[in-house]
């Protein structure tokens, strides 16, 4: 069973839970399903405006889908959070991703 299937069941039972939606999006991303993942990551990012990880993965989904402008927007938002929250490793990763856009 794919990892995403377990999270799909959780989302089905509680579709407004941002953690379930993030976990499903993350699993779908890891399974190579960028388009399907983006919907859930977008939901998670909007549900909690100070949550950096959904924005990073959402940006990566946009990159995989050749949506550079959307990726830039997600990465910029995530970078602001990384700096504000003192997350040095994600900040460095985001700066590298943005340099290659």
In CATH, what number is assigned to the domain containing residue 10?
A: 1.25.40.10
Nearest residue to 51 via CA among 69, 14, 71, 77 = 77
Query: What is the model's pLDDT at position 1?
Result: 63
How does residue 2 score in pLDDT terms, banded at 50, 70 and 90? confident
Residues 6+ apart with CB under 8 A from 17: 10, 11
pTM for the structure as a whole: 0.94
For residue 27, give its domain range: 3-99
Segment 11-57, tens digit of pLDDT? 999 999 999 999 999 999 999 999 999 999 999 999 999 999 999 99
Is the pLDDT reported for residue 10 higher than 70?
Answer: yes
Is the pLDDT reported for residue 80 higher than 80?
Answer: yes
CA 62 remoteness from chain centre? 9
Arithmetic mean of pLDDT over the chain: 96
Work out how many domains the chain is built from and give that number.
1
Query: What is the model's pLDDT at position 54?
Result: 98
Percent of the chain with pLDDT over 90: 95
């Amino acid at each position: 069973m794919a990892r995403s299937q377990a999270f799909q069941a959780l989302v089905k039972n509680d579709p407004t839970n941002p953690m379930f939606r993030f976990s499903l999006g993350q699993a779908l991303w890891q399974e190579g399903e960028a388009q399907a993942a983006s919907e859930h990551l977008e939901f998670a990012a909007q549900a909690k405006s100070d949550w950096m990880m959904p924005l990073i993965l959402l940006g990566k989904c946009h990159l995989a889908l050749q949506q550079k402008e959307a990726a830039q927007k997600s990465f910029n938002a995530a970078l602001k959070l990384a700096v504000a929250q003192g997350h040095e490793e994600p900040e460095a990763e985001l700066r590298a991703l943005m340099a290659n856009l």
